[in-house]
Amino acid sequence: MSWSRSLDPSGWQPDIPIVSYSLDNGLKLFVLPDDTVPVVSVQLHYHVGSRNELPGITGISHLFEHLMFRGTETLGPEEFARILQSKGGEVNAFTTRDHTSYFENLPTTHLELALSLEADRLRALKLDEENFQTERQVVVSERKLRSVDSPFGLVVEQLFATAYTQHPYAWPIIGWDQDLRRLTLRDCLSYFRSYYHPGNLALVIAGDVQPEIAREMVGRHFGDFPGRSAPEALIVEEPPQRGERRAIFKKVSMVEAFFAGFHVVGLGHPDIYPLTLLAVILSGGKSSRLYQEFVRPGRAAEMQVELSPPPWTSQDADLLIMTAVAAPGTALAALEADLWKTLERLEQDGVEEEELARAKKLLRSQTVQALSKNFYRGLMVGLFYLKTGDASLANQVLGRYEAVTREDIIRVTRQYLREDNRTVVILKPVSPEESQRLGALA
């Protein structure tokens, strides 16, 4: 730790230092120097996610993420992870609707090793039928874990499939079971060629490194890839919803629940800030409206408003989701009716100044806490750049929340939390026998 730094909170600035470079082959590099701890977070964000898929090959982005660990011309399966982990690294990857991200958080002394191995798997990934089949089985098991056997997994999938009729956010990131079984190695290789190249990559290095040194290292390992421009921008839109949609999903469950989704905005839209604050006013903290009205008295096991906050908000219009899990003995229909009444009251009476101030302080404090990690600093910059084209937005988040007024909160409530813009999926518990009569879960 650099002991020269102040212990006075008033002198602290939230700015992340961002030094950006563009390589001739199209690769975009962001270096965020900070010498607090001798570690770096190396992040490769490829601009491809389930948003780029088509019906019939859903899940290919995520399956491909797995295949990136299955070896290269010189490394065996999983050796990539094993080598970097043995240096103390946290090595992993995740796929979202909009991007596929690979990261290594590790001691700075091994930064160059991480870059050389990342370049190696981009250049010389080796895929054969046997590897492909093994990994496909792993993903089928992962789908069962996350969706099929999880209490709400399939219900939330149903919500997205009902709320989105034309936009690719309709299908789950992990893909439909039958698509996973149908995908071929050839599909994956063609996907790799389309989306995995420097022109479609944002590389972030956050932590204890000088920007020029990082730039040289990246040049050494990624500079000689041939130049290719980014794939043509994919423009997809969900048409405005014209009336409430409702669906029922029956499964074995100890609880009754409903999930209500409202189409809102993507990360680049300024309304994401009042919407995020609205979600906090409704259910953030134990003094929030929904906690006090539903959870504290034990009417609901859960009553939560979820909207992925920046930088996690999706690129295109996201869903704000209200999750209500009835406590045993509470009627679900009454719970739903009361929730809509609470929203109506908010629309009519607005919010108190203190409520808004509380929500702002909560988001400020969450942001400050997250900025203690290189990993999060890197994500802020990388994800804002990828989804909006503007990395500097990462440093404006706190100011944007601060600027939101009580009128903004009422305006977004009226504009987005409308009945016509709402999709509700109800989880209806059934006995194991009835569940079996309804057919297999997939």
Partner 1 sequence: MAAHIPEVYQVRLPNGMNLLGVEYRRVPWVSLTFMAKRGSETDPAGKAGVADWTVEYLTLGTGRRSQLQLAQEVDSLGAHLGARGDWDASRLTLEGLAEDFQELLAILAEVVQTPAFPEEELILLRERRRAELAQILDEPRELASRRYYRLFFGEAPYGQAVRGEPESLEAIELSDLKSYYYREINPLAASLVVVGMIPFSRVEAEVQRLWGTWKGGGQPSPPYTSAPAKLCSPGLYLLDRPEWTQSEIRLGHLGLPRSHPDYFPLRLANYVLGEGGFSSRLMTRIRSELGKTYGIKSLFHFRRAPGPFTVSTFTPAAHTAEVVQEIVAVIRDFRDHGPTSQELAEAKSYYVGHFPLTLETPRAISRRLQSMDLYDLGLDYLQHYTDRINAVTLEEAQRAAQTYLKPEALVILVVGPAAHCRESLAALGPLTLIADQ
Site for partner 1 in 139-198 (CB under 8 A): 139-142, 144-145, 148-151
CB 392, min distance to partner 1, A: 20
Binding residue for partner 1, selected from 218, 325, 379, 409, defined by CB under 8 A: 325
List, as own/partner pairs, every contact residues 18-24 make where C-beta atoms lie below 8 angstroms and the sequence separation is at least 24, other chains included: 18/381, 18/391, 18/392, 18/394, 18/395, 19/211, 20/391, 21/215, 21/218, 23/198, 23/218, 23/219, 23/222, 23/223, 24/223, 24/227
Q: Return the number of the residue (39 or 44) whose C-beta is nearest partner 1.
A: 39
- Window 352-371: residues binding partner 1 (CB under 8 A): 354, 357-358, 360-366, 368-369, 371
| Per-residue tokens: 192 | 């790799």
Q: Is 116 an interacting residue with respect to partner 1 (CB under 8 A)?
A: no
* Least separation in angstroms between CB 372 and partner 1: 4
- CB nearer to partner 1: pick between 133 and 194: 133
- Residue number, 406 or 418, with CB nearest to partner 1: 406
Residue list 329-348, contact with partner 1 (CB under 8 A): none
Smallest distance, partner 1 to C-beta of residue 255, A: 5
Site for partner 1 in 63-92 (CB under 8 A): 69, 77-78, 81-82, 85-91
* 69 vs 225 by CB, closer to partner 1: 69
Rounded least distance, CB 85 to partner 1, Å: 5
Q: How far is the CB of 94 from partner 1 (least distance, A)?
A: 14
Residue from 17, 227, 298, 399 touching partner 1 (CB under 8 A): that is: 298
Cα gap 19→17, rounded to integer Å? 7
| Segment near partner 1 (CB under 8 A); pick from 93-101, 160-168, 183-191, 297-305 | 297-305
Q: Residues in the chain, how many?
A: 442
Given candidates 296, 345, 411, 414, which one binds partner 1 under the rule CB under 8 A? 296
Closer to partner 1 by Cβ: residue 229 or 366:
366
CB atoms within 10 A of CB 81: 16
Piece of the chain touching partner 1 by CB under 8 A; list 50-58, 222-230, 260-268, 291-299: 291-299
Looking only at the bridges linking them, the beta strands covering 201-207 and 28-33 are parallel
Q: Which is nearer to partner 1, 88 or 227 (CB)?
A: 88
Site for partner 1 in 8-67 (CB under 8 A): 8-10, 12, 34, 36-39
> Terminal CA-to-CA distance of the chain, rounded, Å?
50
Q: In this complex, which beta carbon is closest to partner 1, that of residue 133 or of residue 166?
A: 133
Phi, psi of 429 (to 5 degrees): -70, 140
Both tokens of residue 128? Answer: 């054969």
- Cβ 193 to partner 1, closest distance in Å? 25
Nearer to partner 1, 263 or 377 (CB): 377
Q: Which of 74, 116, 134, 178 binds partner 1 (CB under 8 A)?
A: 134
Q: List the x/- string, 237-276, binding to partner 1 by CB under 8 A.
A: --------------xxxxx---------------------
Of the candidate residues 126, 269, 373, 400, the single one contacting partner 1 (CB under 8 A): 373
In the complex with partner 1, which residue's Cβ is closer, 170 or 255?
255
| DSSP state letters, 69-105 | TS-BSSS-TTHHHHHHHTTT-EEEEEE-SS-EEEEEE
- CA angle, corner 110, sides to 109 and 113, nearest 5? 140
Q: What is the DSSP string of 312-376?
A: SS-SS--EEEEEEEEPTT--HHHHHHHHHHHHHHHHHH---HHHHHHHHHHHHHHHHHHTT-HHH
The answer to whether 104 and 135 are in contact (CB under 8 A) is no
* Distance between CA atoms of residues 286 and 292, nearest Å: 7
Name residues whose C-beta falls within 8 Å of residue 391's C-beta, 6 or more positions apart in sequence: 18, 20, 30, 381, 382, 384, 385
Let me know if 113 is exposed, middle or buried by CB neighbors in 10 A (0-12, 13-18, 19+).
middle
Nearest to partner 1 of 151, 223 (CB atom): 151
| Residue 205 near residue 30, CB atoms below 8 Å | yes
